[in-house]
Amino acid sequence: MTDRDTAPRTLTWLAWLATAWIAWELLHDAQSKLTGNEGSVYLFTVLTDGLGFPGYERAIQLGVAVAAMTTAIFVLISRSRGFAGLMAEGIMGGVVVFHRASPLCVDPYGDGGALFRDDQIAHTLARHAGPRRAVTP
């Protein structure tokens, strides 16, 4: 087996690794929204109050959770991965914007920004979740 043979395999393996991270991150975030996690309720309360929709945090939480779960499923299906990558990029891009442009800040939980960091990683990987062609030298 030559380097020429292993390059496409390596890229395929890396694409699946990125896909798994994105799906895990989306499902993990959706789980905290669906269970009414105290931190998630706080975040969405700050957002909805700041956007002028007080009292609608639960509805927006559920909408974001459903979008995240749908995206996680689509990102695992090879044929829909390109579209799902765009969906994931949009969801995670929204996370970045709302954390940076609202009173939430990057570290709302006082954990050193771990949640924000993980979402940033998923946002970056979402750009690479689309179908890949074999690399030719």
pLDDT, tens digit, 9 for 90 and up, residues 60-70: 999 999 999 99
Per-domain boundaries in the chain: 3-126
User: Token pair for residue 86?
Assistant: 């765009």
Q: What spatial distance separates the first Cα and last Cα of the chain, rounded to whole Å?
A: 16
Whether the model pTM is above 0.85: no
- Amino acid (1-letter code) at residue 131: P
Q: Nearest to residue 86, comparing CAs of 131, 126, 120, 27?
A: 126
User: Token pair for residue 34?
Assistant: 């669906």
pLDDT > 90: percent of the chain = 18
In angstroms, the CA 135 to CA 119 distance is 29
